[in-house]
Amino acid sequence: MTTRVSAIQMVSTEKVEENLGVAAEFIKRAASEGSRLIVLPENFAIIGHNDHDKVRVREKFGQGKIQDFLAEQSAKYGVWIVGGTIPLESSDANRVRAACLVYNDAGEVAGRYDKIHLFDVTLQDGKECYKESETIESGDETLVVPTPFGKLGVGVCYDIRFPEQFRQMLDDGMEILALPSAFTAYTGRSHWKTLIRARAIENLCYVIAAAQGGRHPDGRETYGNSMILDPWGNVMVQFATGNGLVSADISLERQNAIRSNLPALNHRQIYCSRGKNAS
């Protein structure tokens, strides 16, 4: 038995309504093609002229136009939606939580993941600087959600560089990984595919990586190349740049066969470090 899943790629702007319209078109298309699980990219509802724009449109958990949109779309088409990330209120009035909400096919929130690892980096000898922690409050809990298609883990963008997070999710039963992202063009060219393949291979899981892909109003360029990978690390489908959609059929039977034939997950060991003077 197979399940069709989709990753939506966007080039989001500062206009929330416009972005929701683009997302709606692709959700409709994915659902019409038989997808039952649809993943939106990080910041799908807004990428503003500056990082504080998202703070101004933050929502309280459980209410707001972005959350209403996701609930309505999932219920309307009877699909599960991983809602990229949206800005939700945090304990700090000047920051938000980058929250990824998972909606079931009845339009109900089945899980919430708040991005843990924040992108505070300097790239290209200072030509690109990012400090997400100025406007985002990090989360501290991983998420694995039971679904009709398998146990779904959620990570966001920069999280992909921290394999220990996904090992925790694996211990919680993860079979499918949804990865909403907005990788920079610079880091994406060197690392995007390698990192996604590594997480798929080492955890023997499907990965649905939905990305931002293009030039945004603030001048930022995101890498795109949304893709779906199988548990062997093969890229099943890929979309380069611009607004788009990729879909593929996943099979837990195939995954179970791979995990059975290559039982690396059962061969994991617990390691103890030894100091210089250990006997």
The CATH number of whichever domain residue 263 belongs to comes to 3.60.110.10
Quick check: 50 pLDDT over 80? Answer: yes
Range of the domain at 48: 3-267
Residue 139 domain-assigned (yes or no) = yes
- Structural tokens at position 57: 């449109």
Residue 204 domain-assigned (yes or no) = yes
Question: Cα(29)–Cα(19) distance, rounded to whole angstroms?
Answer: 16
Measured between its terminal Cα atoms, the distance across the chain in Å is 54
Residue 218 binned pLDDT confidence (cut-offs 50, 70, 90): confident
How many folded domains does the chain comprise? 1
Residue 228 domain-assigned (yes or no) = yes
| Three-state secondary structure call for residue 18 | helix
Residue 226 domain-assigned (yes or no) = yes
The pLDDT > 70 percentage for the chain reads 98
- pTM assigned to the model: 0.96
Any idea which residues carry the catalytic annotation?
42, 115, 157
Residue 205 domain-assigned (yes or no) = yes
Residue 36 domain-assigned (yes or no) = yes
CB 222 within 8 A of CB 216: yes
Mean pLDDT of 215-225: 93
Residue 217 domain-assigned (yes or no) = yes
Question: Which amino acid appears at position 3 of this protein?
Answer: T
CB 109 within 8 A of CB 100: no
